[in-house]
Chains A and B, each alone.
Chain A
Amino acid sequence: MPKRKLRGQTQLEQATGRAEMKTRSRTDLMDRLAQRPPRSEEMDADQKWSDVWPAARTFAASVVPLPVRMGSRPNTEKRAPFKKEGNLELVKIPNFLHLTPAAIQQHCEAIKKFCTPFPPELLNTPELAKTELPISVDYNTYVHQGTNIRDIRSRVVTMKVQVAALKFSEHALEKFARLAANRYDETTGILTIITDRCHTRKQNIDYAYYLLTVLYHEALKVESWEKLSARADALKVDFDGSTTKSRLVEIIEKTHVDEKSMESFGKMWNEYRNTEETPEKTREYARRAKEILGLRKAEV
């Protein structure tokens, strides 16, 4: 007698639902795998998302549990935009699913133990940086797509120095300004040195420090020939001693104008000649010139 159930018996069992389902072997596994539902359906609502998407990755529709649609349609009322499974547009764009706020918090927590706190004095009064930290060195690092990591621009070094911290005397400051030429900005009092003369960044930083040292020591020296400087050598034009003053004095000898207005005219003249000329400054000059030449507007 063969050890099998008769046809009628299996049919009855199937019909009544008492049949024993035999577990099949490999092919059954393939079937099951082939029909396995996407991972997003098995996700918990309060799972840790940074575990699911720890690093930057292209969009995977089966992993992201959000019901996202993307694409244009002629009439969105009639037909909704394209679904997320098989949507190439979603794949093309960069996504930031690896940078949720919680993930960023995690990153910060991990890095925190390597950091020291920001000085609170600087937070409260940012102007302290000018006096306490007078030298600042800037350089850039460049990141590229591709196999090349070199960029020639990364060796450029910009050094900014607050010259007030060097505590120069007036003579030394003037000599410093002459030596540094257009690198020294007198309105802000900052010396800017930009070097890319050497091959590496470290060499350029060292060179910038060297230049600063040399400038400082040269400015402090007083040479014997410096006392030969005449009015024409000065960096700025001064009112006292100018031909203008002598001529004005001649004219004004004929009238009686007080010393104070002459002084104020001299101050305005110094500013006009030694700083940037603007229409506003010229108008101020006109007002003062009228006053001092005796052509004031009548008191109406």
Chain B
Amino acid sequence: MLRSIQHVENQLSQSCRHISTTSTLCKNRAGKTKSTTNRTQLLTYEMAQKPHHLGVRKSWLTWHSQNLEEFRQSQPLVVAQDEVVRRFIRGFFPQNLIVSGNEIVIKRRGNVLIVAGFLQYSRRLDIRRIYWMFGFAEEFLSILLKQPVKLELAFVESEKDVAYNYI
């Protein structure tokens, strides 16, 4: 009994609150991935370039003209459309994504919305199944967004095919 009370007292003295007295270091963490000791972290070209290289070494993942002055009203619509498309692809092809669906490019040509990019297959894929999924996705998105949607996704063997660097 006595020992346990002593133990508890020790613990109580050790567990006390502290106040930090140094200034916070608001380090910039955007676009930085943690490196590993044995260089297993895969980096695609996208991930390897920092955000300030946008427009210089990296192009855009979405292309639309609604950032111009005349299209102010339709700009948020297009942003929402993009988000819908990306979430749908991510949810509909769960095993086939590369880096949680970051390698999807959305283009617009007139009325048509084109989704391009890369999906992976680790095992041998069922071609018919993939065709059906593509057709369903196109039909579904077209009805949802009220404009023709075309999928021009390409398949790569595995994530290693889009690897730019390992850190």
Contact = CB atoms under 8 A, between A and B. Distances in A.
B45 A92 contact: no
B118 to A, nearest CB: 6
Given A34-B124, A88-B45, A146 B74 contact: yes
Contact of B74 (A62, A71, A72, A148): A148
B117 A145 contact: no
Contact of B60 (A34, A60, A72, A92): A92
A85 interface: yes
Contacts of B58: 89
A219 B147 CA distance: 54
Contacts of B45: 71, 82, 87-89
A85 B162 CA distance: 8
A94 B71 CA distance: 22
A91 B118 CA distance: 9
Given A82-B45, A146-B74, A89 B108 contact: no
A9 to B, nearest CB: 33
Interface residues of B, number: 38
B101 to A, nearest CB: 12
A228 interface: no
Interface in B120-151: 124, 127, 146-147
| Chain A contact surface mostly | loop
B152 A58 contact: yes
A94 B107 CA distance: 9
Contacts of A191: none
A71 B165 CA distance: 12
B78 A91 contact: no
A143 B59 contact: no
B44 interface: yes
A88 B65 contact: no
B73 to A, nearest CB: 10
A108 interface: no
Interface string B76-94: 0110000000000000000
Interface string A48-81: 0000000011101110000000011000000000
B27 to A, nearest CB: 23
A131 B154 CA distance: 59
Contacts of B49: 72
B61 interface: yes
B74 A58 contact: no
Given A86-B156, A88-B118, A145-B66, A58 B107 contact: yes
B65 A58 contact: no
A71 B56 CA distance: 11
B103 to A, nearest CB: 5
Contact of A88 (B44, B77, B107, B109): B44
Contacts of B69: none
B164 interface: yes
A146 B63 CA distance: 12
Contacts of B107: 58, 94
A92 B62 CA distance: 8
B147 A146 contact: yes
A148 B147 CA distance: 10
B114 to A, nearest CB: 7
A146 B105 contact: no
B66 to A, nearest CB: 7
Contacts of A87: 45, 162
B111 A147 contact: yes
Given A88-B45, A146-B66, 10 more contacts: A33-B127, A58-B114, A58-B152, A85-B156, A86-B161, A87-B162, A91-B118, A92-B59, A92-B60, A145-B110
Interface of A: 30-31, 33-34, 56-58, 60-62, 71-72, 82, 85-89, 91-94, 143-148
